[in-house]
A and B are shown apart, each in its own frame.
Chain A
Amino acid sequence: MEVFEMKKLVFILMLGFALLSCIKNEYEDYEIPEHKYEGEYEQYKAIKVVGFQEVDRSIYCDLLIRYEIDTAKFNIHPANLGHVVISTDGNVLQRIGVENTYSILLNMCSTPRTFELKLTDREGYQVGKETIAVWNK
């Protein structure tokens, strides 16, 4: 085969490949985007205790605790806020919905106590650091 004809053949083949490559669809590449609420919660205090108040001094002496929830510094979706968990000496006393900002702790005002308040999300993960509140009559 002469050189000229070989060149023609190669040209025709390359043209064929080029034409065929046009029929190939190009599909985009996807990447998983970063999720805003994906990372760990920041280690700030999410609950600020406003104060205590004795509400029933008769037999049991109940204690009213008021607090504020501040999630401004946290990267948490508002709908993912779960509960405020109040515990003392390692025992969970109450699990209160975030729509409430106070709680009545039954029969707790007679002796000094240390309360631990934690904010959790809907899946039970702790949001920020716990807040320690001391009741000293």
Chain B
Amino acid sequence: MIRPIFLTRVFLVLVTLLVAFSLFSQEQQGHLMLRVFPYDAIVKVDGKPYSKRGRAGFIYLDLKPGTHVIQAWAPTYNLFEKEVVINAGDTIQITKSLSFTEEYIAYKKEKRLQTIAKVSLIAIPSLATVGFTAAFYSKKTAEENKVHEAKVQVEVDRVKYENSISKDNIRITKAELNESLNAYDVAVDNYNKFVTNSMIKIGVSAGLTAVAVWTVSKFKKIEYKEDVLLSRLQLQLNPIDNELGLVWRFSK
């Protein structure tokens, strides 16, 4: 027969051991503060993804003492892998900025060059077309006015000439009319040259724009492809209907 007092003592010893064990086991864990740039990078420790970030972008983890593998990756960045040894009670802080892959840098450079080439090819003739058109319409009225003024002068001199009745006066007014007709012809010639030159400029630049657009459309499409080194895809149970499905956990 076991006495109740004995049972009580055993219970107290067990409780004391349990409390001591739990306290001891807490002290046995190490701490890892991990921060990776860019912030949306996929971070895994021992293959398990972590996305919840705390103050200053740190991921706080309590880990068992020992060696742990840290992995971090984001699209267009190099994969970062590091083994860390964590001792009980230690806190290790790691901050890492991922660097772009060489392929991505080369892709960006090529893309930038192609963009500059596209913009230059299209912008120069387009701007020339717009400029020539604007110049044409801004000067057109002035050129027309010159012709109009010359025409008015011709009309005035023609009336003078037709109303002349004496020989000398006819000769003088005829000379004046002849002069104003020449001025009118020059003004019309200048106007025609102006319109023709503008027409050629606008037409050629518009044609070049069309050729540039066509050329740009034939440019090789530059794409950047890379293998997904780390994924946030996880198999999870849907909390609503408990169906198994793929979940993409991604936080910006």
Binds B, one of A17-25, A43-51, A92-100: A17-25
- Do A80 and B177 have beta carbons less than 8 Å apart? no
Counting CB contacts under 8 A, is B170 at the interface?
yes
- Do B178 and A27 have beta carbons less than 8 Å apart? no
Task: Please give the residue numbers on chain A whose beta carbons come within 8 Å of chain B beta carbons, in ascending order.
Answer: 1, 5, 9, 12-13, 16-17, 20-21, 23-25, 27, 30, 32-33, 35, 37-38, 77, 79-80, 121-123, 125
- Do A21 and B177 have beta carbons less than 8 Å apart? no
Task: Please give the residue numbers on chain B whose beta carbons come within 8 Å of chain A beta carbons, in ascending order.
Answer: 140, 144, 147, 151, 154, 158, 161-162, 164-170, 174, 177-178, 181, 184, 188, 191-192, 195-196, 198-199, 202-203, 206-207, 210-211, 214
Q: How far is the CB of A126 from chain B (nearest CB, A)?
A: 11
**B167 contact from A12, A20, A123, Cβ within 8 A:** A123
Compute how far the CA of A37 lies from the CA of B171 in the bound complex, rounded to whole angstroms: 11
Compute how far the CA of A17 lies from the CA of B35 in the bound complex, rounded to whole angstroms: 65
- State whether A9 and B207 are in contact (beta carbons under 8 Å apart), knowing that A35-B170, A121-B167 are contacts in the complex: yes
Chain A residue nearest to B165 in the complex (CB):
A77
- Do B177 and A123 have beta carbons less than 8 Å apart? no
Q: How far is the CB of B219 from chain A (nearest CB, A)?
A: 15
Enumerate chain B residues within 8 angstroms of A1, measured Cβ to Cβ: 214
- Do A123 and B168 have beta carbons less than 8 Å apart? yes
Q: How far is the CB of A108 from chain B (nearest CB, A)?
A: 32
- Do A32 and B181 have beta carbons less than 8 Å apart? yes
- Do B207 and A32 have beta carbons less than 8 Å apart? no
**A79 contact from B154, B165, B170, B199, Cβ within 8 A:** B165
Compute how far the CA of A33 lies from the CA of B158 in the bound complex, rounded to whole angstroms: 9
**A121 contact from B164, B166, B174, B211, Cβ within 8 A:** B166
Show 15 residue pairs from A and B whose CB-CB distance is below 8 angstroms, ordered by the A residue. A9-B207, A12-B207, A12-B210, A16-B202, A17-B199, A21-B199, A23-B140, A24-B195, A24-B199, A32-B174, A32-B181, A35-B162, A37-B166, A123-B166, A123-B167
- Do A38 and B170 have beta carbons less than 8 Å apart? yes
- Do B178 and A32 have beta carbons less than 8 Å apart? yes
Compute how far the CA of A79 lies from the CA of B169 in the bound complex, rounded to whole angstroms: 13
**Those 9 A-B pairs whose CB atoms lie nearest each other, nearest first:** A77-B165, A20-B199, A24-B195, A80-B165, A27-B188, A13-B207, A16-B203, A80-B166, A123-B166
Chain A-chain B contacts (Cβ-Cβ < 8 Å), number: 72
Q: How far is the CB of B210 from chain A (nearest CB, A)?
A: 6
**B151 contact from A27, A121, A123, Cβ within 8 A:** A27
Chain A residue nearest to B184 in the complex (CB):
A30
Compute how far the CA of A32 lies from the CA of B198 in the bound complex, rounded to whole angstroms: 32
Chain A residue nearest to B140 in the complex (CB):
A23
Compute how far the CA of A12 lies from the CA of B204 in the bound complex, rounded to whole angstroms: 11
- Do B206 and A16 have beta carbons less than 8 Å apart? yes
Enumerate chain B residues within 8 angstroms of A30, measured Cβ to Cβ: 154, 158, 181, 184
- State whether A25 and B166 are in contact (beta carbons under 8 Å apart), knowing that A5-B214, A30-B154, A32-B174 are contacts in the complex: no
- State whether A27 and B191 are in contact (beta carbons under 8 Å apart), knowing that A9-B210, A20-B203 are contacts in the complex: yes
Enumerate chain B residues within 8 angstroms of A79, measured Cβ to Cβ: 165
Enumerate chain A residues within 8 angstroms of B203, measured Cβ to Cβ: 13, 16-17, 20
- State whether A33 and B162 are in contact (beta carbons under 8 Å apart), knowing that A13-B207, A16-B207, A121-B167 are contacts in the complex: yes
- State whether A37 and B178 are in contact (beta carbons under 8 Å apart), knowing that A9-B211, A17-B199 are contacts in the complex: no
Q: How far is the CB of B16 from chain A (nearest CB, A)?
A: 92
Compute how far the CA of A38 lies from the CA of B188 in the bound complex, rounded to whole angstroms: 29
Enumerate chain A residues within 8 angstroms of B191, measured Cβ to Cβ: 25, 27
Q: How far is the CB of A122 from chain B (nearest CB, A)?
A: 6
Compute how far the CA of A77 lies from the CA of B170 in the bound complex, rounded to whole angstroms: 12
